[in-house]
Amino acid sequence: MLVFLVLSYVASSSDPTEPAILLKFKSFLSNDSALDNWTNATAPCNGTHNLWAGLLCNGDANVYGLALTNMGLLGIIDIDTLMDLSALKTVSFMNNSFEGPLPSVNKLSSLTSVYLSHNKFNGEIPDNFFVGMNSLKKIYLDGNEFTGKIPKSLADLTKIVEMDIRGNQFSGKLPNFLQNPNAWKTLNVSYNRLEGRIPAGLRISNPSAFVGNPDLCGKPLAACKSLKKKVLLIIAIVVISVAAILFFIVVCLKRRRSAQSKQVTRVQNKLGANHDTGAIEVELAAEEENNNFKNNAERGGGELYFLKDINFELEELLRAPAEVLGSGSFGSSYKAGLLSGSMVVKRFKEMNQVRKDDFYDHMRRLGRLSHPNLLPLVAFYYRKEEKLLVHDFVANGSLASHLHAKREPGQPGLNWPTRLMIIKGVARGLAYLYKEFPGLTLPHGHLKSSNVLLDHNFNPLLVEYALIPLVNTDHAQKFMVAFKSPEFYHNERSSKKTDVWSLGILIFEMLTGKFPANYLQPGKRANADLAAWVNSVVREEWTGEVFDKDMKGTTNGEGEMLKMLKIGMCCCESSVERRWDWREVVDKIEELKERDGDEDYSSYASDGDVYSSRAISEDDFSFSVNA
């Protein structure tokens, strides 16, 4: 018996120092309730099974990975303590609230994977930071606030095959990476401040890996301009700018002398005409005309306010040929054709919930948002009776049109890898909104397939987000998706998990190909909705009937599709207490792959188990519909 107990202890933890090391590491953290089971009462590992939350264990019952994601952790990541974990190969601190410079993970020279995405790390990374990390294969720094140049020591690593640094403020030129160009599995440097020519070793990457860096050029982006052309262009810009300023002064003097006031044709007359083409002309009623639009909304005046650097003049937008795109619960949408490209103008009438100053403040806040999966707001027009929101035109259309529009015979629908990519992008965009609007109960509020646009690479772009504070309450409760949720249906209350419910319905819509018909009904949701249908099919053990028959590319992916279905069910749990919060949902979605058994994951799961001990069992493959 004594021998059995000794052997059992050895199997539970082959390194007796690990509990003390991990507890010391925990002592530097705060808001660490997710780690409450880190105690001396049990060993961290029992064989390959972790007994402490957030650990990855190897066959020797040693900790080889930390997977501390979506735990709301604060404090200090004490690397010096982690150096005593001899088997440590991978660390993940994704989706927490850590701040400050990049932790000294370079002291852990044996690491193969580093995941630090979506925190608040900031500052420059020293150029020699990654020297000696010769085993590093994967590094994820996206969604932080890093600045400065990309370290050359990172580019010198020869084993790295996954790198995601998008959504930071890295600047300067892209270094030449020593990695074989064909070895990259993941590469994304989008939405930084990089400039110059893309190195030859990175040119085989998808163009979406480089977007959001206006000064990057060369394959796979547009060709670089010669230096001579740049000098001539600068001279031309200076000359044109001086001429424009002089012209502006002359016009102002001439208008000041004029006693007449003008009115531009009322926008309602044009927008209400419901023609396929026409002119968008915004009313600028004022008794004394000048170059500044009137700020007095009570007198009926309006103004167009730009939130982004634009390359078109106001008059060009006002006079542009327009095409009616559609009409929804808020109003009509129009495509305005400009010489520099097309813009979309959306008309909102039921948007008088806040005062003008508060409206402007909220619009400016929306204008500061920057994320690869949000479509930026370019400008807005304010008038007491109505508002106009302006954003870029996305030619590939909405997710709803790709899922539900009638296709020609033989034309394929969206395949499983594309749908998975879209769901991941939507989840990332929603997570960004939750982080940017911590005070809003509904950071999106109107998440549905028609409010997800797809760029030419089928990357999703969320629109009509964070508008709940502005929309008239009665109108919002009648038409906006968040108010179709179970909690509002039963208790007329929304929660921080209501947008998660909307995400779950969107997941069901993508997996089943069925449109949530109750969205078309004003007011509260009907009793029979898409979530109820999915649950009934699963309960009858007809799970195979759930998936869209037009969804191709499912070979060897059925297991991952089932996991996505489970995630959707946990999002649509009618009990708010039992429903997953957004962090857990995003984490689980990020773990999913295109095919069962793939080695490369998009998060720490590539080095450990796909689901944690909180994963749903097959016996729990259902959820409640009636709270």
The pLDDT, as a whole number, for residue 125 is: 95
Stretch (H or E) spanning 491 = helix 486-491
More reliable by pLDDT, 507 or 237: 507
How does pLDDT run across 6-22, given as a tens digit for each residue?
334 334 445 788 999 99
Last residue of a domain, one of 355, 376, 392: 392
Residue 226 has pLDDT above 80, yes or no: no
CATH number at residue 318: 3.30.200.20
The pLDDT, as a whole number, for residue 524 is: 57
Residue 18 lies in a domain: yes
The pLDDT, as a whole number, for residue 80 is: 93
Least confident of 76-85, 142-151, 267-276, 467-476: 267-276
Tell me if 501 sits within 8 A of 569, measured CB to CB.
no
Q: Which residue shows structure tokens 């919002």?
A: 476
Residue 358 has pLDDT above 50, yes or no: yes
Residues 197 and 254 in one domain: no
CA torsion through residues 351, 352, 356, 357, sign: negative
The pLDDT, as a whole number, for residue 330 is: 75
Residues 209 and 358 in one domain: no
Residues 183 and 95 in one domain: yes
Q: 19 Cβ partners below 8 Å, 6+ apart?
A: 13, 40, 43, 44
Q: What is the rounded CA–CA span in Å between residue 430 and residue 496?
A: 12
pLDDT band per the 50, 70, 90 thresholds, residue 335: confident
Percent of the chain with pLDDT over 70: 76
Residues 403 and 378 in one domain: no
CATH number at residue 94: 3.80.10.10
Residue 626 lies in a domain: no
The pLDDT, as a whole number, for residue 616 is: 38
Average pLDDT (130-150) is 93
Residues 232 and 202 in one domain: no
Residues 445 and 359 in one domain: no
Average pLDDT (596-608) is 42
Residue 613 has pLDDT above 70, yes or no: no
Residue 231 lies in a domain: yes
Q: Could you tell me the two tokens for 337?
A: 């054709």
Q: What is the rounded CA–CA span in Å between residue 101 and residue 119?
A: 11
More reliable by pLDDT, 119 or 202: 119
Q: 319 Cβ partners below 8 Å, 6+ apart?
A: 279, 280, 281
How does pLDDT run across 152-162, given as a tens digit for each residue?
999 999 899 99
The pLDDT, as a whole number, for residue 234 is: 65
Q: Which of 428, 458, 420 is nearest to 117 (CA)?
A: 428
Residues 21 and 139 in one domain: yes
Residues 144 and 211 in one domain: yes
The pLDDT, as a whole number, for residue 543 is: 65
Residues 205 and 97 in one domain: yes
Residues 297 and 407 in one domain: no
The pLDDT, as a whole number, for residue 229 is: 54
The pLDDT, as a whole number, for residue 314 is: 61
Counting the structural domains of the chain, the total is 4
Residue 574 lies in a domain: yes
Q: Which domain holds residue 388?
A: 265-392
Residue 90 has pLDDT above 90, yes or no: yes
CATH number at residue 426: 1.10.510.10
pLDDT band per the 50, 70, 90 thresholds, residue 340: low
Residue 343 has pLDDT above 50, yes or no: yes
Residue positions counted in the chain: 627
For 422-462, what is the HEC assignment?
HHHHHHHHHHHHHHHCCCCCCCCCCCCHHHEEECCCCCEEE
The pLDDT, as a whole number, for residue 236 is: 66
